[in-house]
Structure 1
Amino acid sequence: MIVICGATATGKSRLALELAKRLKSVILSADSRQVYREFNIGTAKPTSLEQELVSHYLIDICTPTEIMTVADYQEQAQAIIQFPFLLVSQDTPLLLVGGTGLYIHGITRGIKIPKVPRNTELRTQLKSMDQTQLYMILQQVDPIATGKIHPNDRLRTIRALEVFYVTGYPISMQQGENPPTFPILHVGLDCDAVSINRRITERTQCMIANGLVAEVEDLCVKYGVNLSLLNTLGYREIKQYLNGEISLKQAEEKIIIHTRQFAKRQRTWFRANSEVEWFGADTPDLLDSVWQRIQDFILTT
């Protein structure tokens, strides 16, 4: 398997498309929003033409009203990976491409994730308590988990308690890793702050020019303004514009700022992974450099 990862707007999809054509392979998407149908422009989903050129999987696999958990994604991805010869020849590597770190880890590290859906009623009860109380309860029912969860991490504390009360077993007993046996090459794309800011600005302007406002408007009408996905990056800001809270120019500026912040978090996540081999996204011979590394990888595995 070849992983193409990195922050948003670094050109992962474009590079992966060219590599897949050379390898005569397919692309498995590792993007937590591209799994949803109808969320196209704001998620930078591959176009119909791109999907005709190279087969893409794990895109448009659920409706906007469903919740795709990491465990759900992992299950669907592994079903494909288990029988890759149905998609490509036996010796052709698959391309796993995206910026959702947990999706990638779910495949490359085989992290075990308790398949416990969100329990709204239980979460409401837990959220009514302060963090100190919640953490004390977690220390009693799952002391191992508290060794990995910061006392101020309310989100993970609630999730750990939710898993315990739903299954009757501590989340620490249900976690771990079961990495795959096949070889994996991790290719990361990166660029300097000036370049990533330019890329984000250009992409945001392109999304708006290509109909992002109409996409958000249609989704609001079809699913209601309270749909959780409409509160994600790009959609939230355009929804504010449609509500008359800000101008379109202000919405564009907000998307750019929030995308920069998101890219910074992604970069921090992927930089922590020592397995990733980094390439400059703006390097003139990027495709040839990565292609040569892939050839070396194939020959030595």
Structure 2
Amino acid sequence: MSDEQPHLPPLIAVVGPTAVGKTATAIALAQAFDGEIVSADSRQLYIGMDIGTAKPTPEEQAAARHHLIDILTPDQQMTLADFQDRAYAAIADITARGKLPLLVGGTGLYVRAVLEGYRIPRVPPNPEFRRAMEALAAREGAQALYTRLQALDPEAAANIDPRNVRRVIRALEVIEATGEPFSAQQGREPPPYDILRIGLTMPRDALYARADARIRAMWEAGWVDEVRRLVAAGYTPETSDAMKSLGYPEVVAYVRGEITDENEVLRLIGRSTRRFIRQQYGWFRLDDPRIHWFDVQQQPREAITAFVAQWLARRSPPSPPPRQ
């Protein structure tokens, strides 16, 4: 079901795992319904990180206007609160111009922050604190950070994966800055939109094969040269959180000569990608009743377009009776 508030302006979300075809589907919907796309991909924010993030090509961006792509350099950071603010501003702008906003991406936390209206503590990043916590995790393991969070804020800890070091550090950072539990500063206030969630999926083995093929295609399209340019500009996994994005550390290792076998790099990236896909299915659950799932192998894109058309038509107010 959608959020079923037809008196509110529409917002369509297209979600699902990496490599399933969200970009092509979103562009088709944008073209069919005079829409614009708001990217909810935490990696496509960064200038110069094009191939390895499967960023929409210039041709794709010309086919449908995209927002929140290429807005940061790799040494900059985007907090969840910053992203939410920018996404809401873009959606409001699209709506005000009479067009249909489409929130599209596989970064689950970004999508849910927008659609569910997370109330997020406005605490700026503290690089020194983060470095200290990262050093602690490197020295004593991620569990040491998680144990600290459990002691300070057990409610927050219960809702964070212990393996997600960045989220654990962020919770500790907020507690350090405010002196209050992270959980006490959170809540939800859904945005003023009638929301339709479209999920794209396919059988897991087929999706893994598709992801492997895309990794190979990105490699052949010049991913190594892209990473060489980024490293030459001073962006590395040690200096930039953006360069810790999926696949980039492995390509950096290849550029540095730490891995010399191309097939080994691709195997490692494929392994990381499959792990990431499993995480995405944790964010976007197939049993979530709010998401209308489409198996893209079984259901053509036209079926999704027809479904959206029906949903939009149901939202339309009835025509006034003819004058007597």
- Indicate the residue corresponding to 1:15 in structure 2: 25
Aligned partner letter, 2:37: I
- Indicate the residue corresponding to 1:93 in structure 2: 100
Corresponding pairs, count: 294
Verify the 8 A CA contact 1:238 1:248 in the aligned structure 2. Answer: no
172, 175, 187: which one aligns with 1:176: 187
- Show the 5 A alignment for 1:72-151: 72-86=82-96, 88-89=97-98, 92-123=99-130, 128=136, 130-131=144-145, 134-135=148-149, 137-138=151-152, 142=153, 144-145=155-156, 148=159
20, 39, 42: which one aligns with 1:32: 42
* Range that drifts further, 96-105 or 259-268: 259-268
- Indicate the residue corresponding to 2:239 in structure 1: 227
Give SS of 2:199's match: strand
- Indicate the residue corresponding to 2:311 in structure 1: 297
For residue 163 of structure 1, report the CA deviation from its aligned partner. 1.0
- Indicate the residue corresponding to 1:279 in structure 2: 294
Change (3 A) 1:148 1:5: closer
Q: Equivalents in 1 of 2:271, 2:189: separation in Å?
A: 38
**Within the alignment, does 1:236 sit opposite 2:249 as a pair?**
yes
For residue 83 of structure 1, report the CA deviation from its aligned partner. 3.0
Aligned partner letter, 2:254: Y
**Within the alignment, does 1:288 sit opposite 2:307 as a pair?**
no
**Cα-to-partner distance string for 1:238-264 (whole Å, 9 max, x where unaligned):** 111112122112111211121111111
For residue 11 of structure 1, report the CA deviation from its aligned partner. 0.5
Q: Equivalents in 1 of 2:271, 2:279: separation in Å?
A: 13
For residue 12 of structure 1, report the CA deviation from its aligned partner. 0.5
Give SS of 2:293's match: strand
**Cα-to-partner distance string for 1:137-184 (whole Å, 9 max, x where unaligned):** 41xxx5654564588987655433321221233322321001012111
**Within the alignment, does 1:54 sit opposite 2:64 as a pair?**
yes
For residue 51 of structure 1, report the CA deviation from its aligned partner. 0.8
- Indicate the residue corresponding to 1:68 in structure 2: 78
Q: Equivalents in 2 of 1:173, 1:182: separation in Å?
A: 26
Give SS of 1:184's match: strand
For residue 132 of structure 1, report the CA deviation from its aligned partner. 8.0
Q: Equivalents in 2 of 1:119, 1:257: separation in Å?
A: 32
Aligned partner letter, 1:256: G
Change (3 A) 1:206 1:278: same
- Indicate the residue corresponding to 1:186 in structure 2: 197
**Cα-to-partner distance string for 1:32-85 (whole Å, 9 max, x where unaligned):** 000111110000000011111110001011111101111111011111222324
- Show the 5 A alignment for 1:241-280: 241-246=254-259, 247-271=261-285, 273-280=288-295
Give SS of 2:219's match: helix
Verify the 8 A CA contact 1:35 1:58 in the aligned structure 2. Answer: yes
Verify the 8 A CA contact 2:22 2:200 in the aligned structure 1. Answer: yes
Q: Equivalents in 1 of 2:291, 2:70: separation in Å?
A: 28
Q: Percent identity?
A: 38
Give SS of 2:41's match: coil
Change (3 A) 1:48 1:218: same
Verify the 8 A CA contact 2:146 2:157 in the aligned structure 1. Answer: no
For structure 2, which runs of at least 5 residues remain unmatched after alignment?
1-10, 316-324
Verify the 8 A CA contact 1:25 1:94 in the aligned structure 2. Answer: yes
For structure 1, which runs of at least 5 residues remain unmatched after alignment?
none
Q: Equivalents in 1 of 2:147, 2:88: separation in Å?
A: 38
Q: Equivalents in 2 of 1:66, 1:164: separation in Å?
A: 23
Aligned partner letter, 1:273: D
TM-score normalised over the length of structure 1: 0.89
**Within the alignment, does 1:204 sit opposite 2:215 as a pair?**
yes
